[in-house]
Amino acid sequence: MAIEFLKKAEKTSATGEDETRKIVAGMLAEIEAGGEDVAKAYGAKLDKWDGNIVVGPEDIERASAQVSDQLKDDIKFAYDRVRSFAEKQRASVQEFETELSPGLWAGQKLIPMASAGCYVPGGRYAHVASAIMSITTAKVAGVENVIACSAPSIERGGIHPGILYTMNLAGADHILALGGVQGIAAMAFGLFTGHKANILVGPGNRFVAEAKRMLFGRVGIDLFAGPTEILIIADKSADAEVVAVDLVGQAEHGFDSPAWLIVRDRAMGEEVAKRMQPLIDKLPEVQREAATAAWRDYGEIVYCDSDEEAAQVSDEYAPEHLEIHTENLDWYVNRLKNYGSLFVGEETTVAFGDKCSGTNHILPTKGAGHYTGGLSVHKFIKVVTTQRMTREANRDVAQVTARISRLEGMEAHARTGDIRLHKYFPDEEFNLQL
């Protein structure tokens, strides 16, 4: 039994958190106190945008004209699959009512949230797919009012045309040209739209993630998220080039995006390690700089001499994205427990899920896969319970309630049962205290 690091990360997901919290806390407080004017000021300072914050029909029409027919077809391809998967998710949970005992019925109702705020990253990369993942899923869930925001730029004349076109296609009711913390704050506080988001969803950088975390409780959030993560489990049957390309494919997200590899064969680990930097060096400058820092500071290669150890290490990481490149795929599918989304076999990859294959790419990071899955229609729906019963059913339920309440020392609770027994069964003897 052995677990050995062939490459160890120099930094962790907690690096720099204290500074981030301080910055975000100050911004949220200022925006809540100052409202729209302060949000606009932050937009002008950080997004370098002093145009309209609320996107109008003419802006959407202008953006649509800039999107090629091929890109529109591709966006529709992704939208159709994400929508279809979300519809299946919605159908998997139903309202019901059941009779628990004679005359006592209990059930559940599914109530969509009234308003959702969807953040779509638009800084370093134009995350068209994130607009599909968040807005489409909210609409399939039945959310009546969906607010979407993304960072604008002077060069583009506002929000990236591809993002804006997709936001509209997916069904956004309000679109704001605001990025970062100011965008999150505007949706949470109901600025520019008059609708306060009940839930905030969508990926973003560490400042966006921290803003959502700080607002959690006042509003719901999809999940606690940080920089994107990938973990691959590979044995000697894996293709080292494919594995390395997939690791680089996620490392380009940003300088703090972890890329982890668990190998069952040392030679495979060494071969992948040898290929990483040459593959990174072939990327354009922005992506090259991000992937170089991510692999240098956050990349890890772990050797395990048994499948059980490999699965155990993977479950400890609880990665956002988990790929399996092994001969015994089914064993890992049945054994693994902690991850955001699982990609089984070489034929699929994280990028497919990220962009268009159907499953949602807004997923738990920083170990949150231990206790939650990713964004789904269920995140936008409140599962609430209902109860009704006949007067006859009160004979047993009220007496048990009163006895348990008195055991707990809650006399007023007990008397709510007593009064019903007295009213419904006036001729019967009970130990009542009214």
What does the block give as tokens for 358? Answer: 């159907």
DSSP-derived letter for residue 96 is E
DSSP-derived letter for residue 40 is H
CA distance 88 to 141: 11
CA–centroid distance for 432 within its chain:
51
- Given the structure tokens 């949150």, which residue do they identify? 368
Coil, strand, or helix at residue 86?
Answer: helix
Helix H or strand E encompassing 147 = strand 145-149
Which residue blocks in 356-410 are alpha helix, DSSP H? 394-408
Closest by CA position to 261, among listed 294, 228, 233: 233
Q: Rounded to whole angstroms, what are the CA distances from 176 to 151, 208, 404?
A: 9, 15, 53
Q: Rounded to whole angstroms, what are the CA distances from 291 to 246, 280, 368?
A: 12, 6, 23
Angle at alpha carbon of residue 366, lines to 361 and 370, rounded to 5° = 85
What does the block give as tokens for 221? Answer: 């959030």
Q: Rounded to whole angstroms, what are the CA distances from 106 to 28, 58, 227, 287, 391?
A: 42, 50, 42, 55, 15
Q: Which residues are identified as catalytic?
A: 320-321
Sign of the torsion angle spanned by Cα atoms 34, 184, 28, 255:
negative
Dmax over CA atoms of the chain, in Å, equals 89
Q: Rounded to whole angstroms, what are the CA distances from 412 to 65, 102, 416?
A: 67, 26, 7
CA dihedral angle for residue 244, residue 246, residue 247, residue 253, rounded to 10 degrees? 140
